[in-house]
Structure 1
Amino acid sequence: MSMKRDQLGWGRRLTVWLLPLLCLLVVVVIGSVSVGSADLSIGSVWKIMMSHFMFVGLAEKDWTQAAETIVWEIRMPRIMLAVLVGAGLGAAGTAYQGVLRNPLADPYILGVSSGASVGAAAFILFGGSLSIFGSWTLPFVAFICGLLTLFVVYRLASINGTIQVETLLLSGVVVQAFLGAGLSLLLSMSGEKMQNIVYWMMGSLTLADWESDVVITPYVLGGITVMWLCSRELNILALGEQKAHHLGMNVQRVRFVLLVTASLVAGATVAVSGVIGFVGLIIPHMMRSVAGSDYRVLLPVSAVAGSILLVVADTMARTVLDPQELPIGVITAFLGAPFFAYLLRRRRKNFW
């Protein structure tokens, strides 16, 4: 009976928080697709949207082809990519903080972001004429380099077949320092290509299209599903590794599965959008403070909240200095850096 009550309790909490957030996400998407530098009426925007969904018969075509291209081929793919990237970063950040039991952890703490950045910078600098996968060659290189970095960090942290959280974090710091030096070297050699490298490092959804959405969707949705299926193990890990061992959980295997899955999701998002920081750091904290620490609730709620944050940030990035566009990483850094400082200050007070 207690187990049934527990399942009913977390299920009710999930519904209470997830439904309002999904409604808010719909509102944010509606607002974002209606905003832009092109002079389009809201009525025209919505007729175009309805013509591509279920209300085909209700939408009389009284708009230009240019307007349809702007709404459906430029704005919507970008907004949907923001939804997917935000969901991936929010869920991956939640998993990282749960596995590492570190509230300052985010999807890039193990060097996935740094590895992807070095790979992308090297490709922009030396492999510009190489086009094995067409426009997807750069994202593919960034994705592979991010995963290779995770493998190196994991191997460094492995001692007699076991991995301690502290060793894993230190290995990530060491590898990130080395990759940071490599990235600085590449930037110093980049010359006129420096702007392309720096812009990619700051994150942008400018080149989003429907193909990007299709490619990233399996990684994000599949990764979030795997992480949510491990939410019970995350709840047990929150009690401490010794208690988790006593309860019969294989801590090393669970940690490996979750870290690889979260890094796959983070690597996929970096590959299509560049480096977008702080989303995976601040979203889990915000949602934990309101929805509780049960990962069966926290993971899906953080995914939706991450989507909301990134859609809002991307809308700001393309409208604040219109017609000039800001990298989305600049917006998330302005939002996330003060929050990060607040977390550091609070942890210092608790320590002393």
Structure 2
Amino acid sequence: MMGQWHKKAKWNFILLLLSLVLLLGMMAAAAIGSASITMTDVLKVTGRSLPVIGEFFDTSGIPSHHGVIVKHVRLPRILLSVLVGISLSVCGATFQGMFQNPMADPFVIGISSGAALGATIAIVGKLDQVFLGMGSISLFAFLGALGSAYLVYHLAKIQSKVPVSTLLLSGIAVGQFLTAIMSFLMVIHSSDVNKIIFWTLGSFATKGWDQVQMMVVPALLGWFLLYYFSRDLNAMLLGEESAHHLGVEVEKTKKTLLLINSSIVAVAVSVSGIIGFVGLMIPHIARLLVGPDHRILIPASGLAGGMFMLFADTVARTVIAPVEIPVGIITALFGGPFFIYLLRKKKSSIL
């Protein structure tokens, strides 16, 4: 009993510490940029925007353009990067547990390829000029991501079951096929290549409160729903047969998790583009910190993912300002070596 209490106390302390670091990181990121703004001013502007307590924050001594920069440029971008980081990380942790594969990530079932094809169709069709503006690219990316996940699921299904091996193979096959179609469209619409490439590399540039509103419910609700299945994921770590004996409806759980994960990742990709390695790398780091129990791994992965994405986006927009680097390049610079490390570690364990 005491051991269980100590474990929960340790978990709560870790989550509290991660939450505080994330909040401080968000405040620091809002102060960093081409316009130098103090963290005190950031706190005042942010506090002034809050209901009920806003009147207690005095912003009279802050230049008006600083308030505009913080409230309408940096804060929505910061919140969006954190929400996307949370989404990709918790989905990565879930996929790794469900597939019992440390190489699994949120894009393993072809979601990224479907989103990229959807965005490419919107770009080459000039739909952003005639239909919903830039929102048409996000809409088509979302539909492409969900469509590819649906196709992969039905290709992998054998009678009423979805074996993990066929799901992974179907994801690879569908992903390659959709990528080939996207490449063909890029060849015949060469004038749009730069725009397509920039989107596929991922970026939070030009994003605002509209994208935050699109992302906040799927990210936080999805986080909660995946946490709800944490005990089932723990049982599935023992193998599907053992999980079934422990009372887990394995096939139903897999279908539900696939639906939740696909929906979350589809929304995330639709607003940010394809940002790789976050869902692969962050769950591993969180697992080293808190262990494999999904009751702590999922919340810790979310907080750590938000922190990493915030860091990556801050580097992307400031390191060679005013030129902005796509955030997917920054995550790949960290994630690529980490992936090589995982491969070497897995190879040594096999030998």
| Alignment TM-score, normalising by the size of structure 2 | 0.95
Question: Which whole-Å CA distance do the structure 2 matches of 1:89 and 1:45 have between them?
Answer: 27
* Deviation of 1:290 (Å): 1.4
Segments of structure 2 that go 5 or more residues without pairing to the other structure are none
Give the number of the structure with larger relative contact order, counting CA–CA contacts within 8 Å between residues 6 or more apart: 1
2:128 touches 2:136 (CA, 8 Å); kept in 1? no
| 165-174 or 59-68, larger mean C-alpha shift | 59-68
1:120 touches 1:139 (CA, 8 Å); kept in 2? yes
Q: What do the CA deviations read for 1:295-352 (whole angstroms, capped 9, x no partner)?
A: 0000001000000000000000011111111000000000100000000011011112
Quickly say closer, same or farther: Cα 1:46–1:189, change in 2 above 3 A.
same
2:332 alignment counterpart: 333
Question: Which whole-Å CA distance do the structure 2 matches of 1:134 and 1:126 have between them?
Answer: 12
| 69-78 or 55-64, larger mean C-alpha shift | 55-64
2:202 touches 2:327 (CA, 8 Å); kept in 1? yes
Q: What do the CA deviations read for 1:111-141 (whole angstroms, capped 9, x no partner)?
A: 0011000000111001435644444221111
1:297 alignment counterpart: 296
Tell me the secondary structure at the aligned position of residue 189 of structure 2: helix
1:345 alignment counterpart: 344
Quickly say closer, same or farther: Cα 1:252–1:130, change in 2 above 3 A.
farther
Question: Which whole-Å CA distance do the structure 2 matches of 1:60 and 1:29 have between them?
Answer: 19
1:119 alignment counterpart: 118
* Deviation of 1:42 (Å): 4.5
Question: Which whole-Å CA distance do the structure 2 matches of 1:105 and 1:16 have between them?
Answer: 29
1:1-352 equivalent positions in 2, closer than 5 A: 6=4, 8=5, 10-53=7-50, 54-128=53-127, 131-352=130-351
Letter in structure 1 aligned against 2:268 = T
2:111 touches 2:148 (CA, 8 Å); kept in 1? yes
Quickly say closer, same or farther: Cα 1:50–1:160, change in 2 above 3 A.
closer
Letter in structure 1 aligned against 2:327 = I
RMSD between superposed Cα atoms in Å = 1.7
Question: Which whole-Å CA distance do the structure 1 matches of 2:165 and 2:60 have between them?
Answer: 61
| 257-266 or 270-279, larger mean C-alpha shift | 257-266
1:113 touches 1:270 (CA, 8 Å); kept in 2? yes
Question: Which whole-Å CA distance do the structure 2 matches of 1:43 and 1:223 have between them?
Answer: 33
Q: What do the CA deviations read for 1:28-55 (whole angstroms, capped 9, x no partner)?
A: 1111000001244455444323322335
2:128 touches 2:135 (CA, 8 Å); kept in 1? no
Q: What do the CA deviations read for 1:262-283 (whole angstroms, capped 9, x no partner)?
A: 1111111100000000000011
Between the two proteins, the alignment pairs up a number of residues equal to 349
Question: Which whole-Å CA distance do the structure 1 matches of 2:189 and 2:26 have between them?
Answer: 37
2:85 touches 2:308 (CA, 8 Å); kept in 1? yes
Tell me the secondary structure at the aligned position of residue 144 of structure 2: helix
Question: Which whole-Å CA distance do the structure 1 matches of 2:321 and 2:19 have between them?
Answer: 29
Segments of structure 1 that go 5 or more residues without pairing to the other structure are none
1:123 touches 1:141 (CA, 8 Å); kept in 2? yes
Question: Which whole-Å CA distance do the structure 2 matches of 1:91 and 1:219 have between them?
Answer: 12
Quickly say closer, same or farther: Cα 1:58–1:242, change in 2 above 3 A.
closer
Letter in structure 2 aligned against 1:51 = R
| Alignment TM-score, normalising by the size of structure 1 | 0.95
Question: Which whole-Å CA distance do the structure 1 matches of 2:44 and 2:240 have between them?
Answer: 55
Q: What do the CA deviations read for 1:75-101 (whole angstroms, capped 9, x no partner)?
A: 000000011001101101000101111
| 11-20 or 34-43, larger mean C-alpha shift | 34-43
